[in-house]
Amino acid sequence: MSDITVTKGAPPRFRSATEESPLARWAMIAAAVLGLGILVFAPLIAVFVEALAQGVAASLASLATRDAQEAIKLTLTIAAISVPLNAIFGVAAAWFITKFDFRGKAFLITLIDLPFSVSPVVAGLCIVLMFGTNSLVGGWLVANGYPIVFAMPGIILATMFVTFPFVARELIPVMIEQGRAEEEAALTLGASGWRVFWTVTLPNIRWALLYGVLLCNARAMGEFGAVAVVSGKIRGQTATMPTTIEMLYQEYLSVAAFSLAAVLALLALVTLLLKTALEIRHADQLAAAHRH
Amino acid sequence: MHIEIDEISKSFGTTAALHPVSLSLPSGALVALLGPSGSGKTTLLRILGGLEFPSSGRVMFDGQDATGLSVQDRRAGFVFQSYALFRHMTVFDNIAYGLNARPRASRPTKAEIARRVTKLLELIQLPDIGARYPSQLSGGQRQRVALARALAIEPRMLLLDEPFGALDAKVRKELRQGLRDIHDTTGLTTVFVTHDQEEAMELADLVVVMSMGRIEQIGKPQDIRARPATPFVRAFVSA
Ligand SMILES: Nc1ncnc2c1ncn2[C@@H]1O[C@H](COP(=O)(O)OP(=O)(O)OP(=O)(O)O)[C@@H](O)[C@H]1O
Ligand SMILES: [Mg+2]
């Protein structure tokens, strides 16, 4: 005991194993704040500043035009159709991949990621090639009054292609981690496959699903490249919010362009707020689901 | 229920998990499947429960062919190695799951389900944990809840995969006695998997020693100790 010296005064402060030195900590915080500031906050603020450059009235007036109204309506409609469909496809794909063993599984996972690696413009061109008036299928559809390209179905197809991976990508790791044991347990307790899906599988993935759906939604509303190619950008008809913004900007109508951009940004922010609110409200369940 | 396993084999792709094995389990017996890792114990148990289908051979329940019987229709109370409790449900809802899953005609009333769940919670000596979530339980408590959940469906047999595997020695001893008691009161034919020869010898009426997908010996614990049939069994039980 004699070699332990008791020092009087402030008790020693221990640093936890994962804690960095103060200098490193501040450097990292500074880098994070700077990065966020330059890449996220500054542009976001700039959009709103530009939108309101000629006052609130001018900004609102530009949003009240028929073209702007139609663009907002179209974008919301596209999201309302493509996001639920992609949610269903995503859940089905993730379920199929994680709950069954089959050959070519790795290939299928790669295939799901394809939209991420293919440029959206190329994706749009593929749809034009397949369904355009000059193609076999497209010609027949147009002749029978169901045009795909330069019309709503084409925009939905393009949006769905680009946003397809979001839901499945969120779900696959979660479902792999959770394994099949709970589903098997439910089966041994007499539940049908359908019941197992609704009472065990879906509740277990609901947070990942919600997250995937929100990401998918944000991207669906913001998609530009693929939609620009397939939609033809007909004002008041097939021009979505992002394509309208670009056209307005090209015509030096900066208040109109930035006002619409501000609305698009606000829609994205609402999505994020929704997610945060849900996370706060269900924090205990989230923790329980992760701790297991 | 009397369980008869008739020349069952199982292969996954090119690996043979079970070479043809035959086994007869008398009604009401407490049986241990004992063997080292990879010997095919889980595979055999899952075939009995209907979670896996054999590559060849038959399973007979009380003399009737049950090989093609679906997992739901087998009515086997299955306790999984990791317990597989439904993490988003309370303990009460976990135990009630099987009763709620019954078709409307044979589903008990809400009050009757509550009564049965309460009784099962008393049986596993955890009467006050109905409102908790699985993540709020200790390992031993989870294991008992899993057992109660399996018993709730009034199973025809009880199948347990390494029920005490993840627990410390003291809890293990307690739960062993708990399983023995539940087996004795319900009279269910019970099969449990273990690689702990002491556990098998102490608890089971009948021990099935397995190795590399084959059954090495079937017998009462004292017979296996006294007269090991193969060098493998001799080495395994003296270890
Ligand atoms: N789904 C599967 N796909 C491929 N091979 C499998 C599968 N399940 C089991 N096997 C193989 O079958 C053999 C027997 O496995 P099993 O799980 O029945 O062993 P076990 O006796 O339960 O082992 P442990 O004590 O480690 O749990 C092993 O070689 C295993 O690799
Ligand atoms: Mg096993």
CA proximity to B89, closest of A94, A191, A280: A191
Give the DSSP letter of residue B62: T
Question: Over 90: is that where the pLDDT of B154 sits?
Answer: yes
Q: What is the pLDDT of residue A11?
A: 62
Instruction: Tokens 């031993």: give the residue.
Output: B140
pLDDT tens per residue, range A198-216: 999 999 998 889 889 988 9
Cβ atoms of A162 and A86 within 8 Å: the answer is no
The answer to which of A278-292, B36-50, B156-170 has the lowest mean pLDDT is A278-292
Instruction: Looking at the CA of residue B44, tell me the nearest atom of ligand 1.
Output: 18
The CATH label, of 2.60.120.10, 1.10.3720.10, 1.50.10.20, 3.30.499.10, for the domain at A58-290 is 1.10.3720.10
Residue A188 to residue B51, Cβ atoms within 8 A: yes
Q: What is the pLDDT of residue A20?
A: 72
| Strand pairing class (B157-161; B76-79) | parallel
Cβ atoms of B153 and A189 within 8 Å: the answer is yes
Three-state SS for A124-167 is HHHHHHHHCCCCHHHHHHHHCCCCCCCCHHHHHHHHHHHHHHHH
Residues on chain B touching A189 (C-beta within 8 angstroms): 97-98, 101, 149-150, 152-153
Residue B135 to residue A291, Cβ atoms within 8 A: yes
Averaged pLDDT for residues B188-208: 92
Q: What is the pLDDT of residue A13?
A: 66
Which residue of chain B is at minimal alpha-carbon distance from A196?
A: B101
Q: Is the pTM of this model over 0.80?
A: yes
How many residues does the structure list for chain A? 292
Averaged pLDDT for residues B176-197: 91
Q: What is the pLDDT of residue A4?
A: 56
| Maximum C-alpha span of chain A | 99
ipTM of the predicted structure? 0.93
Question: Over 70: is that where the pLDDT of A126 sits?
Answer: yes
Average pLDDT, rounded, for chain B: 92
Averaged pLDDT for residues A157-163: 93
Residues on chain B touching A190 (C-beta within 8 angstroms): 72, 75, 98, 101-102, 153
Averaged pLDDT for residues B129-155: 93
pLDDT tens per residue, range A45-82: 998 998 898 988 988 988 999 999 999 999 999 999 99
Which residue of chain B is at minimal alpha-carbon distance from A202?
A: B88
Query: And the tokens for B37?
Result: 């890792």
Average pLDDT, rounded, for chain A: 86
Q: What is the pLDDT of residue A238?
A: 86
CA proximity to B125, closest of B112, B114, B141, B137: B141
Q: What is the pLDDT of residue A289?
A: 53
pLDDT band at A292 (very low <50, low <70, confident <90, very high): very low
pLDDT band at B29 (very low <50, low <70, confident <90, very high): very high
B30: which strand partners?
B190
Which residues in B2-24 are b (16+ Cβ under 10 Å) and which e? ebbbbebbbeeeeebbbebbebe
Question: Over 60: is that where the pLDDT of B185 sits?
Answer: yes
pLDDT tens per residue, range A215-238: 899 899 999 989 989 888 888 888
Residue A289 to residue B88, Cβ atoms within 8 A: yes
Listed by start position, the domains of chain A span: 22-51, 58-290
Which residue from B41, B199, B211, B216 has its CB within 8 A of the most atoms of ligand 1, so it is best to mutate?
B41
Residues on chain A touching B95 (C-beta within 8 angstroms): none
CA of B183 to the centre of ligand 2 (A): 22
Q: What is the pLDDT of residue A145?
A: 82
Averaged pLDDT for residues A260-278: 87
Question: Over 80: is that where the pLDDT of A18 sits?
Answer: no
Q: What is the pLDDT of residue B169?
A: 81
Residues on chain A touching B49 (C-beta within 8 angstroms): 188
Q: What is the pLDDT of residue B86?
A: 96
B15: which strand partners?
B12
> CB count, 10 Å around CB of A139?
13
Residue B87 to residue A186, Cβ atoms within 8 A: no
Cβ atoms of B115 and B135 within 8 Å: the answer is no
Cβ atoms of A269 and A166 within 8 Å: the answer is no
Which residue of chain B is at minimal alpha-carbon distance from A189?
A: B98
Residue A191 to residue B72, Cβ atoms within 8 A: yes
pLDDT band at A291 (very low <50, low <70, confident <90, very high): very low
Averaged pLDDT for residues B199-214: 92
Amino acid identity for residue A142 in this structure:
V
pLDDT band at A1 (very low <50, low <70, confident <90, very high): very low
pLDDT tens per residue, range A276-290: 887 787 766 566 555
Which residue from B18, B19, B33, B42 has its CB within 8 A of the most atoms of ligand 1, so it is best to mutate?
B42
Closest Cβ opposite residue A189 in set B82, B98, B134: B98
Residue B76 to residue A292, Cβ atoms within 8 A: no
A201 Cβ contact list (under 8 Å, min separation 6): A95, A175, A183
